[in-house]
Each structure stands twice: as C-alpha cells, then as structure tokens.
C-alpha cells in the first residue's frame, strides 16, 4: 500500500488490517480490529470514512496507531458509507447504536471504552447511556450533543450553509477534505489524489451531504443526564464547526465529566496524531479505574392499557373477556419481540415495556394499538425516554412515573410521547403533532406532549375474535 507522509512524501507500508462484516439487523457493517491491548476501545467515526483508504491518511493512520498501542481498537463504517451496506435514508441514533453493539458482538467484546469523534459523538453517548454494562468509559472528541442548527444562531447557520453547498459541489475532487481537515495538509498531486480517492470511496456526494445535514439536525441533549460512565470531552479552542460554549454545556450536563481544550488548529488537522489530544485520551483511559458498572441506564418506557376495560368486561362476561385478554396479551408480546422490547410488568389490562431505542418503542406502540382495533379494543399508549434505576429485571425512577402519567392522558387509539422521545427520533421519518403543555400529576413543571401521526403503512396484520 502507498501512504502519504505528513510532509507529502510517499512510502510503501504494510497493508491495512483485514476488513470483516458484522450483521446488524439485515445490514452488513464493515469493521476492523487493530492492536491487541488489554483495553477494548470502540472508535465511532465522524462524518464519513473508508477503513482501507483511511490508513493512507497520516492523520487517521496516526490516530489508529496511537490508540492501538494501548488498546484493542474496534472501528467500523457507519451504515450507508464506506464498505458498509447502503441504506434508504439516514440511520437513526438507535440504529447506529445497534451497529456499535453488532461489531462488539462480532469480535467478542463484552465491554469497551466508546470513543465518538465529531459526528459520531451522539451515537457514542447514547450507547454509553443505554448500555452502561457494555461501556467502560466515554470519550467525546471534537463533539457535542446538540442543539440542532436552528437553535445555533445566524452565524452558525450561514457557516453550515457554505460548507453544505461546498461539499455538494466539490465532493470527489478532494477540495472538500481540505476544507474539513483545515490547515496543515501539504500541497501536491499525491495528496490531492489521496483526498480524491478517499472521498469517492467513503461516500457518494449525496450521502456525504446527507450525513452533514443529519449532524446538525440531531439533538441528543436528553441523554446527558443518563450517562453514568466516566466521561471525557476533548475539544479545540478554535474549532470552526464545534461551538465551545455548546461543548461546555454538554460537559456540564454529564455528571463528573472532564473537559480538556487543546491547541490543535481547526476541527481536525493533518498532524492531529502529533498533538496533545491523544495524550489526554490515553491518560484518561489507562490511568483511571473503570470497574464500576452503573446501575442506571437510558431507557424508553412504554405504557399501554385498554380504554374502558371494566365496561367491556361487564358486557362480555368473565369467560369471553378472559379469552380476549389472552389474545391481547399474545399480540402485545409478539410485537414486543418484533421490536426488541422487554416486558417489565403487566397491569391487568395493559403492559409496561422497556426499549433501548426510542424509534422502535414508538413503532411498537403504533403496531400494538393498530392490532387491537382488529378485535374492537381501543388502546392508548404513553412513552418517555429517561434515566432509570435498574433493579435486576425491574426498573424504577421518575422516568417510569412520567411514562405512566403520559399514557393516562392519551385518548383512545392515541400514542402520546414526551418531548424527549420526539427529539431523539428526529430524522427517522416518524411524525408527531403537538398536544400542548400539560401538568403530570405529582411531577413538577409542565410537560409538552406530542401525539404520533399514524403512518400510512399501519394495518392490523391479524384478525382476532372476541
């Protein structure tokens, strides 16, 4: 393999690590493993990447070499980019969490430090919050967790509009990489050709632009309070793409998080491997004890119940009502399995379930409510995402109370969600209508709630008799 050095010279080096594939749902996710250190480290890439061409870029190759000197590094291509399967539309945060879990499972990694770079930070943070038993630590490198672009002011919006337009017009000619990397890349045909080849292999022009747009639309601030693993944020003081005040806000929202500002120029730079960023990251990951597994996790809770169940039971009689409840329970459990939900409890005429992904939880609620109509049952559902205390197979905490209160306010046939759920499924194609602000009994403040707009594909798949 021919690589380009920091000064622009070329040299022949050993070939890249083997690229393998992990199955995530129905998709193949390309991944590589570098090094064999005592610590497992999952590197969640930012923007777009190409595992094999990456190793010819000195900034990426240098980072990989340094991280793999003290850890077993597991890195991968986001679905839709590089060597991973292409997708219809962009993945949700929950789907990207699935990909992290898939590559960890593929290499037998039970627990790892999760390092999210730039655009990869939101998925890394949500994984660490949702799976504290599998995340030993979290590093957000030149990354932050919201707000979306429309809350960042006119100057930030104008800067993004320029970059978005530039990438759309120039992707594939190498100049977009120069723009995004910033200062330090040497001039010359070897570097120009390397950038061209990286862009063409990492993503199509449309995919590159779409990933950029997704990056500024995601608002993952809701997960900050649920992150219970040791957390480090590394940022660049003069980063043109990452607002330092937002990095500070992200750090302040994560209990015990440490923030370090370094002197690296721009968002990313040609000689990043020679800067102090990696010294800080290595010291944090190898000089601290991460043996304690948090008993709290980010969970989306779903509450369902049958509207008017007492009246219906009186009309049908105990025997017929019992058969109907059995069929209701069977369909609910079937949909929970389908959408990877976990039954937490039953309430006689309803269910309490937990999900690691809010989009799947909403889709499951919609399916259950829709299926119930096939045998003339009106269900209502309420969902909330927040931090829960994990007690064996049970869950406890304010999040559970919020979910129950929201469900109680839903009308027959309605799926009602909190603002956190609405924010975290942004970009998934799931649509909501506002239901205004409400008081939730026994809870402080007023809560803005949103009703799911039923999808056109919602159809009862089974006819169940009363």
Instruction: Report helix angle 358-372 to 318-338, nearest 10.
Output: 150
Asked whether residue 320 carries a pLDDT value surpassing 80, the answer given is yes
Tens digits of per-residue pLDDT, 47-62? Answer: 888 888 888 888 888 8
Residues 166, 184 share a domain: yes
pLDDT value of residue 294 = 59
Residues 188, 323 share a domain: no
Give the domain-ending residue among 286, 316, 347: 286
Does some domain include residue 281? yes
Closest to 208 in 3D by CA, of 90, 373, 332: 90
Q: What is the mean pLDDT of the chain?
A: 87
Give the domain-ending residue among 262, 286, 310: 286
Does some domain include residue 461? no
Tokens 């879990």 sit at which residue?
101
Name the pairing type of β-strands 2-4 and 258-262.
Answer: unpaired
CATH of the domain at 204: 3.40.50.1820
Does some domain include residue 243? yes
Give the domain-ending residue among 251, 267, 286: 286
Closest to 455 in 3D by CA, of 384, 381, 365, 334: 365
Does some domain include residue 356? yes
Residue 429 phi, psi (nearest 5)? 90, -5
Q: Which domain holds residue 250?
A: 2-286
Residues 172, 37 share a domain: yes
Residues 276, 354 share a domain: no
Residues 356, 272 share a domain: no
Does some domain include residue 457? no
Tens digits of per-residue pLDDT, 2-23? Answer: 333 444 444 434 555 889 999 9
**Cβ distance 15 to 2 under 8 Å?**
no
Residues 243, 171 share a domain: yes
Closest to 113 in 3D by CA, of 95, 97, 134, 129: 134
Residues 151, 35 share a domain: yes
Number of domains in the chain: 2
Residues 344, 318 share a domain: yes
Which band of pLDDT confidence, cut at 50, 70 and 90, is reported for residue 268? confident
**Cβ distance 113 to 39 under 8 Å?**
yes
Residues 212, 348 share a domain: no
Compare 389 and 127 and report the one with higher pLDDT: 127
Does some domain include residue 459? no
Asked whether residue 151 carries a pLDDT value surpassing 90, the answer given is no
CATH of the domain at 430: 3.30.70.1230
Residues 267, 390 share a domain: no
Residues 215, 175 share a domain: yes
**Rounded CA gap, 251 and 265, in Å?**
21
pTM: 0.76
Residue 460 phi, psi (nearest 5)? -60, 130
**Rounded CA gap, 439 and 336, in Å?**
29
């Amino acid at each position: 393999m021919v690589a380009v050095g920091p000064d622009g010279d070329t040299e022949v080096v050993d070939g890249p690590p083997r690229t393998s594939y992990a199955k995530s749902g129905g998709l193949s996710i390309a991944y590589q493993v570098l090094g064999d250190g005592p610590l497992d480290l999952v590197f969640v890439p930012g923007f777009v990447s190409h595992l094999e061409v990456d190793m010819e870029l000195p900034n990426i190759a240098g980072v990989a070499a340094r991280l793999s000197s003290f850890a077993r590094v597991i890195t991968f291509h986001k679905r839709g980019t590089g060597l991973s399967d292409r997708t219809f539309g962009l993945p949700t945060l929950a789907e990207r969490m699935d990909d992290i879990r898939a590559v960890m499972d593929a290499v037998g990694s039970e627990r790892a430090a999760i390092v999210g770079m730039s655009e990869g930070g939101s998925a890394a943070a949500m994984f660490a919050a949702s799976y504290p038993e599998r995340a030993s630590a979290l590093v957000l490198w030149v990354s932050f967790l919201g707000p979306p672009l429309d809350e960042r002011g006119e100057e930030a919006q104008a800067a993004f509009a320029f970059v978005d337009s530039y990438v759309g017009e120039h992707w594939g000619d190498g100049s977009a990489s120069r723009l995004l990397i910033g200062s330090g890349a040497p001039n010359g045909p070897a570097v120009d050709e390397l950038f061209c080849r990286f862009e063409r292999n990492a993503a199509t022009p449309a995919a590159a632009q779409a990933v950029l747009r997704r990056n500024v639309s995601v608002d993952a601030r809701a997960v900050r309070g649920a992150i219970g693993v040791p957390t480090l944020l590394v940022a660049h003081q003069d980063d043109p793409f990452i607002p330092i005040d937002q990095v500070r806000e992200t750090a302040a929202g994560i209990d015990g998080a440490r923030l370090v500002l370094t002197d690296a120029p721009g968002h990313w730079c040609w000689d990043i491997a020679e800067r102090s960023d990696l010294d800080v990251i290595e010291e944090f990951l190898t000089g601290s004890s991460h043996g304690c597994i948090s008993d709290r996790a980010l969970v989306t809770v779903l509450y369902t119940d049958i509207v008017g169940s007492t009246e219906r039971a009186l009309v049908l009689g105990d025997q017929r009502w019992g058969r109907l409840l059995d069929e209701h329970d069977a369909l609910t459990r079937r949909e929970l399995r389908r959408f990877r939900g976990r039954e937490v409890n039953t309430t006689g005429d309803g269910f309490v379930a937990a999900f690691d992904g809010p989009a799947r939880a909403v889709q499951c609620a919609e399916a259950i409510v829709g299926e119930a109509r096939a045998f003339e049952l009106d269900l209502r559902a309420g969902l909330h995402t927040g931090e829960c205390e994990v007690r064996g197979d049970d869950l406890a905490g304010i999040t559970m109370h919020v979910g129950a209160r929201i469900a109680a306010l839903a009308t027959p046939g309605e799926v009602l969600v909190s603002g956190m759920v609405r924010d975290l499924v942004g970009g998934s194609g799931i649509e909501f209508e506002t239901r205004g602000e409400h008081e939730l009994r026994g809870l402080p403040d007023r809560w803005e709630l949103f009703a799911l707009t039923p999808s056109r594909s919602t159809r009862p798949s089974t006819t169940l008799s009363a």
